[in-house]
Structure 1
Amino acid sequence: MSDLLAPIYAIEQDDAVAFWGFVGFMERMERNFLRDQSGMRLQLLTLDHLCRFLDPKLYDHLQKLDSTNFFFFFRMLLVWFKREFEFNDILRLWEGLWTDYYSANFHLFIPMAILEKHRDVIMEHLKGFDEVLKYVNELSGTIDLQSTIVRAEALYRRFQRMVEAIDKKGNFPKVPAVRQRLPQPPPAGPTPATGRASASASGRERTPQEGATSSEPVISPELRALLSREVPKLEKRESERQYTDPDVYAAHHKQFEAAGLPSDQAGWIERARQVAEIFAQDVAARDIGNAAPRAEISLLKSSGLLKVLGPKRYGGGGEAWDTAYKVIREVAKGDGSLGMLLGYHLLWSTTANVVGTEEQADSVQQAIVKNNYVSA
C-alpha cells in the first residue's frame, strides 16, 4: 500500500492531509486487498470479457497461450500502474482516473490500450504464457502515458458504441421466421417413384436459424458495469464484524496474571511456548473463520509477552532483542500470523529508541508498557 500512499504524501507534505487523502483513496482501492482476492478476480474477469468483446482475434490467440487469466496485468491493477509510469505521469493518470469522467472503472481500459499497442508482437511472436508475462513486465517504465490515454479513450468510445448498437438492435421487432419443408427418408417398401413423391410431400418444418449458433457479442453484467460512473465500494457493516471472544481464554488470563512476568530468558521462552500451545489448538479453525483476533491479542497482553523488551522501571521484562527473537519464533510455531504481529509490535514499540531523543524514547516506552498497548 506504500505505492498508493507515496505520491499523495510527496505532494501534500503534511501527515494529517496525506493520511485523510490516503483514507479516501483506499475507500476506492480496498477491494484490491481483500483476503480472498475477490476484488482483483472480478477486475481480471471483467478484463477477460472486455478483451473478448473488443478484440476477439487477440482473445483467441491469448486463449491458445493459456493467458486469458490476464495475471500479467495483476500488478498494474493492484497499485494502479504505480510501477509502470514515471512519478509525474502517475500524478496525471491518477487525477484523471479520480474524475470518473467516462467510467469509475476506466482504469481497465489502460491494460486494453497496452494490449492494442503491442497486439502485433503478441500475436506474431509470443508463444506461451511465460513469454506474455515476461514481455508485459518488461514494459514497465517504457509506456508513453499520453498515447496510452488517447488509445484508452478511443477504446472506451468504441465499446460504448458497440453496446448501444447491440441494445438498439434488440429493440427492433424480430423478422418472421421462414418455414421450410425438409425432405425425410422414404418409408420402406414403396417404389422409387412413390418414395420420391412421398419425400416431397412429407417432412418436418424448421427455420433456417434452427441449430445455428449465434455470433453476436454478449454483454455481461461485468461489461455493463464499465458504463457506470459510480465508484464501487465495499459495504461497511460494523455490527456484523466477527471477533474472537477474549473470554475463551479466561482461565489462562488468571494463570498468567497470577504467575507474573518471567525473570530470565528461559522463563520468557517457556512463557512463549505455553502461549503457542494454546494458539495451536484452534489455529486452523480461526484461520478459516477469518475473525479479528481480539481474544488472541488479549492473551498476548495477559501473558506479558508484549512487554518483554520494556524497561523494568515501568513494569517491562527488560530483556534484549536476543530474547525477543526467540520469543517471537516460539509463538510463531503455534500461529505464524500472531508471531508476526508480536514481532511488529516489538519492532514499532522500540523505534523511538533508535530515531527519537532519550526523552521521546522514555515517554513512548512508559506509555506502551504501563498501558500494555499493542503497537503493531
Structure 2
Amino acid sequence: MGTFEINVSSEDQSDLRERISRTRLPDQQEGVGWDQGTPSAYLEELIEYWRSSYSWPKQQEWLNTHFKHFRQHLNRQQLHYVHHASPDADAIPLLLVHGWPSSFLDFHKLIPRLEHGSRRRRYHIVAPSLPGYGFSAKPAQPGFGVIQIASTLNDLMVALGYRHYVVYGGDWGTLIAFVLGTRHPQNCRVIYTLARAVPRLHRPWHVAQLLNHRLPWLNKMPITMTHSELKGLDDYRHLEKHEFGYRHIQGTKPQTLGCALNYSPAGLAAWIVEKYKTWSDCHGNIESRFTKDELLTQICIYWFTGTITSSMRLYYESGQQWASLMQGYCKVPTAIAKFPADHFSSLPRAWIEQAWNVKHFKEFDSGGHFPALEEPDLLAEDIDRFFDQIESLDPKWQRF
C-alpha cells in the first residue's frame, strides 16, 4: 500500500475547459421542467458556472487535504481508498461504501462528524472508491461484479489489520454490504444500511403479482399491509415506470452510452445531476441540498478518471450475478435507515426483513438517497445509537 495524491495534469484540465466552451445544448420544450430529464436552462447555468467560476485546482487541493488517500493492489485491482485511522486503540473499524453516481466524496461531511463529533464512539474510517470508480482501477476483464467487489473490500479491511469491522452502505453499498454479511460474516460483524428489500425482492412487483405468484418466501410474509406500505408500493411502481430507464440501459448497453458520456462533459453532467435532483429530498431545488461545487467535483472525478463507462458497467456485471445474489439471508445484525425522499426505500418493512437480520429500524423525517450528504448529523447520530444498542444486546460483539 502507499499514499496517494490526486494530481490531474494541466493538459487534461485544458481539454476539459475547451470541451466546456464548445458545449452544444439540446432544445427544450416549453413548460417541461425536469420531467424529461435535466432541463437545458439549469444545465446552461451549471455549465456557465463550471466555465467561469468553478476551480478544479482549488477543489483538488481541498480533496488532498480533507482526505487521507491511499492505493493498494488487491485481487489484481489497484484500489483507491480513504483511510482515517483513529488514535484510539479501541476505535471501531468502519467501512463506508458508496454507490452510483457517487464516490468517496459523498462522505466528506460524515467523516469529520464521526471523527470529531462530541460522541463516545471513535472510528477507524475506510472509504474506498469501488473498482471502476474514481481513482480505483477499471476491471479489465468481464465478470467483476458485486460479489468480487465485496471480496476485494473484505481483503482490504483485513490487509489494514481490521479482522473484524462494521459497514455502512447505500445504493450499491447496500448490496455490497449484503454480500459481505452473507459471504464474509467472520469479518463483517455489523451492518448499517438504507432500506432495501434486496436481493430476494429485486424487481418492483405489483401487489397482485405478489399475491398471485406463490413465491416460496411469500408464505412467511403477512398479506395485510399498512396504508403507508401500500403507498410505498405505489411509489415504487411509479419509480419503475418513470425512473428506471437509466438502470435498464446501464445494465444492458453501458458501452454505447459510455461513448457519449465519456466524450461530452455537458452530457456527463446532465446524466449525473438529474439523479442527485430526483433522488434527494430537495423539493425540486437541487441546490437546496447540494452546492454547485459539490456537484461539479463529483462530475469531475468521473470525468478526469474516465470512469463513467466502467462505473455503469457494474449494472451489467451484477445483472449476470443475480441468481447467486438471490441466495441466502444476512444474519449479521443490521440497522435499516429509511429516509422519506429515498424512493428506493419505499417497499414494506416485512419484505426487508426477509433479507436482513434487522435489529434497528429508523424512519427519518427528512433526507433522501444521499443521506451522508443531505443529513450527515442525523446519520452519524443514528449510527452511534445503533452500536450502543448492539452492545446492550451483546456486550461481546465488539471484538476487534
TM-score band, normalised by shorter chain: under 0.3
Select the structure that is richer in strand: 2
Select the structure that is richer in helix: 1
TM-score, normalised with respect to structure 2 = 0.20
TM-score, normalised with respect to structure 1 = 0.21
